[in-house]
Amino acid sequence: MPSQRLVTYATRNLAMLNVMEALSDDRINFIGIHGIGGVGKTTLVIKIGKRAKSEKFFDEVVIVVVSQNPDIKRIQDQITCMLGFTRLIDQPNEIERANMCARLKDVKKILVILDDVWAKLNLAVVGIPFGDDHQGCKIIITTRREQVCSSMGMERERINIVHLDVLSEEDSWDLFRKNVGNVVDSNVVNAIANEVCKECGGLPIALVTVGSAMKGKDDPDLWNKEAWELRKSEPTNIESVDQEVYRSLELSYDYLQDEEAKVCFLVCSLFPKDFNILIEGLVRHEMGLRLFKNVDTVQEARGRAKSVINNRIDSCLLLVSDE
């Protein structure tokens, strides 16, 4: 989620303070942050990583995405790239693990952030030295499941578990209003806008996504329609998708008036989770499938794709990659 669309609230400040205190505590070496999908765990750890590095808590800070189906080689490659050990990438898995472990031990103080962990991850198999193997290494994970935090911490007394809750009603309205605009203050739409906000369930991703979709809209009939759509939409047969997140994303997708934008978004959804989609790759898919109308050259397709992607980013349906 684009960071400029988010603001800091009391619950986030408290979680940040809790984690930073744990990072400065030599007795703590493992921090688990858990909460439902869309609550802002990734955004929080990115801020924590930047702050820990800028305030010199650690010599190195790395953040990698684990996801629902962990690819050990991919995790290793992310870590080695972030630390500049690029020559290790082409090594066989066993050799890369041993070399990476040795190089990590050379870093006196290092913070490893593992984002989106779904089940216990064996750090030794990945090649991350931890506990007695490297006293200067601390681990932060984000997960939807509290039991994952407990299962990965080696010593219970050295674990700190933080629950990231949804935003309060007041903070939810503030974030929603920042994304929709002053139109929600009018007597015509204020009441129904409040109802739409509540349907987002205090989830930042839902509040930002729906707020962006309704930005500047002052037609009460349109607001009533969207409130009804949010209430009736249900994520049937979609495992591990929070209902408010699903409904907000569906609303934003349905609100896309450009059919090309919808098709482009659906093409992006075919890529694996957390995949960094290159514009050039997307252009080839779009041209091969003849999805853009009245486009004859690669240059025209590239321009159209960039325009569509930028609009989807502004709508919070796609995220900008750091790579």
CA distance 138 to 70: 20
CA distance 107 to 86: 16
CA distance 210 to 193: 11
| pLDDT digit string (tens) for the chain, length 323 residues | 444 344 567 778 899 999 999 999 999 999 999 988 788 899 899 999 999 999 999 999 999 999 888 988 889 888 888 888 766 666 666 666 677 788 888 889 999 999 999 889 999 889 898 888 899 999 999 998 888 998 887 666 689 999 998 899 999 999 999 999 999 999 999 999 999 999 888 888 888 888 888 888 899 998 988 788 777 765 544 444 455 566 656 666 776 667 777 888 888 888 876 678 888 888 888 788 777 778 878 888 888 888 888 777 766 567 676 65
Four-residue CA torsion sign, 317, 201, 189, 221? positive
Q: What is the pLDDT, as a whole number, of residue 244?
A: 56
Task: Say which CATH architecture domain 3-163 belongs to.
Answer: 3-Layer(aba) Sandwich (3.40)
Q: Domain segments of the chain: what residues?
A: 3-163, 168-255, 257-323
171's tokens: 């903070």
CATH for 168-255?
1.10.8
Q: What is the pLDDT, as a whole number, of residue 239?
A: 44
Quote the pTM value: 0.73
Residues paired with 50 in a beta bridge: none
Which own/partner pairs from 277-280 qualify as long-range (CB within 8 Å, at least 24 positions apart)?
A: 277/321, 279/305, 279/306, 279/309
252's tokens: 């934003």
CA proximity to 281, closest of 266, 271, 296? 271
